[in-house]
Structure 1
Amino acid sequence: MQGSIYEKLNYIRYKGMQRMKRKVAAIVLARMNSTRLPGKVLMDICGRSMLGHIIDRLRKVRLIDEIILATTSQKEDEVLLDFAKEEEIKSFAYEGDPEDVVARIREAGEKFKADIMVNVNGDCPLIHPPVIEQLIKALVEHDAEMSTVANLDGKKVIHGGVNVFTLKGWQKVDENSTELYQRQNTTACLLDYPDLLKKVEVKDKPIFYQINHRIWVDTPADLEFMREVYKRLYKPGKIVNLEDVIHLLEKHPDLMEINSHVRQKGLKDKSRKVVFRVDGDEKVGMGHIVRCLALATELQERYFCGVSFIIKGEGGIVEMIREKGFKVEVLPSRISGENEAKRIVDFSRDYGANRIILDLKDEVSPEYIFKLRKTNIPVISMDNNGEGAFFADVNIFPVAHFIPDNRWKKYRGKLYYGPEYVILRREFRKDYPPLDNKTPNILITMGGSDRENLTRKILQATLSIPDVRITVILGRFFAYYSEIRQIATRKGNIDVYRNVQNIAEFMLRADLAITYFGVTAYELAKMGVPAIVIAHSERDKINAERFSKYGTCISLGYFKEINEKKIYSVTGRLLGDKKLREKMSKNGKKLLDGKGSERIARIIMDSVRGSGVSIFRRNKNFPINEFSCQWEIVT
């Protein structure tokens, strides 16, 4: 056939005097019920939704005749049909199994009478228009059934999310996709049967093979990365040039650290759903919330889990969890234990949960756990010594100070505890180079709320220490900000920050820190910062004293029992003893490796419902250090 590509597209063959037009349709796959990041396709990136950016980029492909948004008939996806109307593009709501991507594409192509289909994933806001045009041309010119981007010297191209097929070729894919995983993925069948279709490959420019990094969106970390890229390169009314993205990443490789740790889901990897029931608010503290968010992120990014939280509370706590990309179910503050358990059971069943994780301040009752176990879902209890915990399938104490009493010898499940299981946020999992301050720096950080305003007492106590700088970090829910600012303005050596995003950077610059005992005390230990810890309760006083025996901190006691004089005295002595601080720093770095959340996530994914027997032994094969202990059932 002679002529241009447009002639070949428009006049494929003749049937007598009838000329048949070859229609090219872009079929954009999108759903609101993504497991790891629900609603991601409509999330904002520089003032436009992710799907909006994809549509803008597809409109730059001259060979595409029609753009079709292919979603499902599920109620939550109705908003996508409205989006398509606003964008003035076609839409298709597949009425079959929402997970059957292969059939959705086929029926969309058949309904709109497409001859050639450009299959586009709705989570790839940097699809590359020039290569899409090349793929369409190559498919037509070689009379192929499929066109895709080739590797170059063994390297994959950075962009993705697009393949081009003839409708007849895709019908073959549909007929041969007999396994569930094949129907849920656009390329699985073709990887299993590489010779099923006549295929042509297109090589892109060498620049697009220089960097191997994920530029699609599955998790909040991916979204954060994409927003940062668009923030630097996007101009309204224009699309981001992919070559500019490559140059940006070469110039600022640190940007890739935002989501480089996210694990790519394999074709046969299964998505799971986890429910966290956790306590935390301005009154009781934020430690349990903080560590559960860190663990939830690990499950989301490394084990393809959808995560929902069930909490008592409202306002800022709910918003804080949602900002991390997780769903939140809010319980009434005065709900009974029986009704609470029923709510968790009903929610878990409706959600399709595979695991239930409890991290509660109050001790749980056996009746509470019995109700949860009726779901036949493994129940994992964290940091709870109540009678009900002994009926959970797994118990994890993600702390170094836990000492099991004799009751645990009769426990019929699996028990894990010790420094190896301390949960830290991602910024604390890497090692930082030490800094040598010319002027000693005291860090004061008393958690998310500090309702008692102990920050003020500590600040007043340390003001008279000569030749130091004082850094004060105030939490998101701290109510006395103006008071602390007034104190700081009267002195020239005090820096005050509020609700910081990466507290590890401030810890790095500290010679010593003063904090409430809890998650922050462990974070300081990992950073090698000697700490003075203060207990928020009588129970915390005991735990703080136990933890101080590891030699990373000094326990000052219960906050109601200390005064400014004691704070001043202990702080001054520790600041003046450099050798002691160096020893405390080494002890902290030795104690914690920052991989607790990785270990616990693996335990959670491996957990199953079981009866067990009351005989235990140390598991010698489990990675432990001299401080840790993990016991397993002997069957």
Structure 2
Amino acid sequence: MTSIVTLIQARTGSSRFPAKILKPVLSQTMLYRMMERVRQSQWAGQIVIATTDLPEDRIIEKICEQNEWECFRGDELDLLTRHYQAAKKYKADIVLKIPSDCPLIDPGIIDKTVQYFMNNSFDYVSNLHPQTYPDGNDVEVMCMDALEYTWATARRDFEREHTTPFIWENKDLFNIGNVKWETGFNYSMSHRFTLDYPEDYQFIGKIFEKLYPSNHQFSLNDILTLLEGEPELMDINAMYAGVNWYRHHLSELQTVSADETRILNDSWK
């Protein structure tokens, strides 16, 4: 039987917004809300919180113990090694990589991405190359062989830090697929549902406050319907729409163009 393991990378250290995943929303941490939504997926398999081995991240391990979640601790900066070692420990055949800064992720998008991977002969599938969903619905799926080869081969710092660039930058080595939003729209640069800055926290908190009490399983469409009725909510973190890590590596990345990221004022980091 094929073993699917979902790895949610999480840590308390952040230069932009320290301990962001521990911030409360409706009496629970952001990490709890993130796990709650991922667990609604039918294809997540075994879910593991992959944190660092730094002393300050012992708190994440404690949260996992309290909630009876699986936890793996590994290298702080070399996330490729952390993901690989966690996948090996849990005997994964297929690995899902989902960052913990996506507490509004739609479980249906996870399922759609995994099913596309399972129904074809891909080594790697994501919904990021190119990205079309609102930022914060990030799903990457890969076979263990691809992850292992990448772990043994990738050398550049950003390839180790971000785990998968070596895969999606080498289409001649891997069979790669991408899931696009079925609406035909591209909201990746306009709608920001991810958690990196205090303003993101305020926005995400508002979404939970307005939708969660009446529907614990609210979807992407529910969020968009809310925003259509209350567009002022998007103003909360609009200054960061389109901001992602690509901006730091445009000179090194071969398959990412400048219009897939946004350069910030230096004072905003």
What TM-score, normalized by structure 2, do the two folds share?
0.85
Is residue 144 of structure 1 aligned with residue 122 of structure 2? Answer: yes
Residue equivalent to 2:166: 189
The answer to whether the Cα contact below 8 Å between 1:30 and 1:41 also exists between their aligned partners in 2 is yes
Q: Distance in 2 between matches of 1:50 and 1:56?
A: 10
Shift of 1:105: 0.5
Residue equivalent to 1:633: none
Residue equivalent to 2:150: 173
Shift of 1:160: 2.5
Residue number among 44, 47, 51 corresponding to 2:24 in the alignment: 44
Give the letter aligned to residue 172 of structure 2.
D
Assess, with a 3 A threshold, how the Cα gap between structure 1 residues 114 and 155 changes in structure 2: closer, same or farther: closer
The answer to whether the Cα contact below 8 Å between 1:208 and 1:246 also exists between their aligned partners in 2 is no
Q: Distance in 1 between matches of 2:171 and 2:228?
A: 34
Shift of 1:171: 1.5
Shift of 1:124: 0.6
The answer to whether the Cα contact below 8 Å between 1:40 and 1:50 also exists between their aligned partners in 2 is yes
Matches within 5 A, 1:321-470: none
The answer to whether the Cα contact below 8 Å between 2:125 and 2:142 also exists between their aligned partners in 1 is yes
The structure with the greater share of residues assigned to strand is 1
Q: Distance in 1 between matches of 2:7 and 2:176?
A: 19
The answer to whether the Cα contact below 8 Å between 1:124 and 1:161 also exists between their aligned partners in 2 is yes
Matches within 5 A, 1:549-568: none
Is residue 266 of structure 1 aligned with residue 242 of structure 2? Answer: no
The answer to whether the Cα contact below 8 Å between 2:80 and 2:160 also exists between their aligned partners in 1 is yes
SS at match of 1:216: coil
Is residue 28 of structure 1 aligned with residue 12 of structure 2? Answer: no
Give the letter aligned to residue 132 of structure 2.
K
Shift of 1:125: 0.5
Give the letter aligned to residue 6 of structure 2.
A
Q: Distance in 2 between matches of 1:208 and 1:128?
A: 16
Give the letter aligned to residue 114 of structure 2.
I
Is residue 100 of structure 1 aligned with residue 78 of structure 2? Answer: yes
Assess, with a 3 A threshold, how the Cα gap between structure 1 residues 198 and 222 changes in structure 2: closer, same or farther: same
Residue equivalent to 2:54: 74
Assess, with a 3 A threshold, how the Cα gap between structure 1 residues 149 and 64 changes in structure 2: closer, same or farther: same
Is residue 254 of structure 1 aligned with residue 232 of structure 2? Answer: yes
Assess, with a 3 A threshold, how the Cα gap between structure 1 residues 302 and 174 changes in structure 2: closer, same or farther: farther
Report the count of equivalent residues.
Answer: 252
Residue equivalent to 1:157: 133
Deviations 1:107-136 (A, max 9, x none): 100011011111110111011211211222
Residue equivalent to 1:15: none
Residue number among 127, 152, 176 corresponding to 1:199 in the alignment: 176
Q: Distance in 2 between matches of 1:108 and 1:205?
A: 32
Q: Distance in 2 between matches of 1:72 and 1:137?
A: 30
Shift of 1:202: 2.5
Shift of 1:63: 2.4
Q: Distance in 2 between matches of 1:178 and 1:230?
A: 40
The answer to whether the Cα contact below 8 Å between 2:21 and 2:29 also exists between their aligned partners in 1 is yes
The answer to whether the Cα contact below 8 Å between 1:208 and 1:243 also exists between their aligned partners in 2 is no
The answer to whether the Cα contact below 8 Å between 1:127 and 1:162 also exists between their aligned partners in 2 is no
Assess, with a 3 A threshold, how the Cα gap between structure 1 residues 32 and 59 changes in structure 2: closer, same or farther: same
Residue number among 201, 204, 218 corresponding to 1:240 in the alignment: 218
The answer to whether the Cα contact below 8 Å between 1:138 and 1:202 also exists between their aligned partners in 2 is yes
Is residue 62 of structure 1 aligned with residue 42 of structure 2? Answer: yes
Shift of 1:54: 1.4
What TM-score, normalized by structure 1, do the two folds share?
0.37
Percent of matched pairs sharing the same residue? 25
Residue equivalent to 1:223: 201
SS at match of 2:238: coil
Residue equivalent to 1:501: none
Shift of 1:188: 2.8
Residue equivalent to 1:111: 89
Give the greater-gyration-radius structure (CA).
Answer: 1
Q: Distance in 2 between matches of 1:184 and 1:217?
A: 18
The answer to whether the Cα contact below 8 Å between 2:128 and 2:139 also exists between their aligned partners in 1 is no
Gap regions ≥5 residues in structure 2: 250-263
The answer to whether the Cα contact below 8 Å between 1:188 and 1:267 also exists between their aligned partners in 2 is no
Bigger relative CO (Cα 8 Å, ≥ 6 apart): 2
Q: Distance in 2 between matches of 1:210 and 1:84?
A: 33
Residue equivalent to 1:550: none
Residue equivalent to 2:64: 84
The answer to whether the Cα contact below 8 Å between 2:131 and 2:180 also exists between their aligned partners in 1 is no
SS at match of 1:221: helix
The answer to whether the Cα contact below 8 Å between 1:181 and 1:267 also exists between their aligned partners in 2 is no
Shift of 1:195: 3.4
Shift of 1:210: 5.4
SS at match of 1:80: helix
Shift of 1:208: 6.5
The answer to whether the Cα contact below 8 Å between 1:148 and 1:202 also exists between their aligned partners in 2 is yes
Give the letter aligned to residue 127 of structure 1.
I
Deviations 1:564-607 (A, max 9, x none): xxxxxxxxxxxxxxxxxxxxxxxxxxxxxxxxxxxxx49xx9xx
SS at match of 1:123: coil
Q: Distance in 1 between matches of 2:116 and 2:64?
A: 29
Residue equivalent to 1:122: 100
Assess, with a 3 A threshold, how the Cα gap between structure 1 residues 208 and 55 changes in structure 2: closer, same or farther: farther
Deviations 1:461-505 (A, max 9, x none): xxxxxxxxxxxxxxxxxxxxxxxxxxxxxxxxxxxxxxxxxxxxx
Assess, with a 3 A threshold, how the Cα gap between structure 1 residues 237 and 249 changes in structure 2: closer, same or farther: closer
Give the alignment's Cα RMSD to 1 decimal: 2.4
